[in-house]
Homo-oligomer: A and B are copies of this chain.
Amino acid sequence: MGAEARLLELGIDLAEGSHPVANYEMVAASGRLLFVSGHGPVQANGALLRGKVGDAFSLEQAYEAARLAGLAVLATLRGELGSLDRVSRIVKVLGMVNCAPGFNRMPEVIDGCSDLLIEVFGDNRGRHARSAIGVAELPFDIPVEIELVCEIE
């Protein structure tokens, strides 16, 4: 099953892709590789979630924030490619968590994005290499930021 059919089945209705907050592009391609800029967790009303994980956000809430950031990436990819079915492989995810001091369960947080990608693209296309790190600050105090590299057909 393709990613677009799978989204329908999951009942996921992607928003329009978001716009850069400064002087860059949401995506840039070289050959078959697409480099996707860092995306934050955009709520249904279009506003970004804000606050530190381990303080304003519990682990469970941060997992959901990472899923929202993943949905924002998917919206960007569909806007860029026309269809998510053109993605042949999610290659590499960098998940950045805006950590309160001492919070170090980043892998569980970033699973919110990785689980989504594997649900949508399936095991063959969706499984990816990944690093999950805890940063001191993120733009606008968002709790999670996701950037990724994918391969297109």
Chain A residues with CB under 8 Å of chain B are 20-33, 35-38, 89-94, 96-97, 99, 101-108, 110-111, 114-115, 118, 127-141, 145, 147, 149, 151
Q: When the two chains form their complex, are residues A139 and B132 in contact, meaning their CB atoms are under 8 A apart?
A: yes
Give the residues in chain B near A33, CB-CB below 8 Å: 30, 33
Give the residues in chain B near A131, CB-CB below 8 Å: 37-38, 94, 96, 145, 147
Q: How far is the CA of A128 from the CA of B26 in the complex (A)?
A: 8
Give the residues in chain B near A104, CB-CB below 8 Å: 137-141
Minimum CB–CB distance for A27 against chain B, Å? 6
- With A103-B137, A137-B99 as known contacts, state yes or no: A26 contacts B114, CB within 8 Å: no
- With A22-B107, A118-B23, A128-B28 as known contacts, state yes or no: A35 contacts B91, CB within 8 Å: yes
A sample of 4 more A-B contacts (CB under 8 A), given A31-B151, A103-B137, is: A23-B118, A29-B91, A38-B131, A134-B137
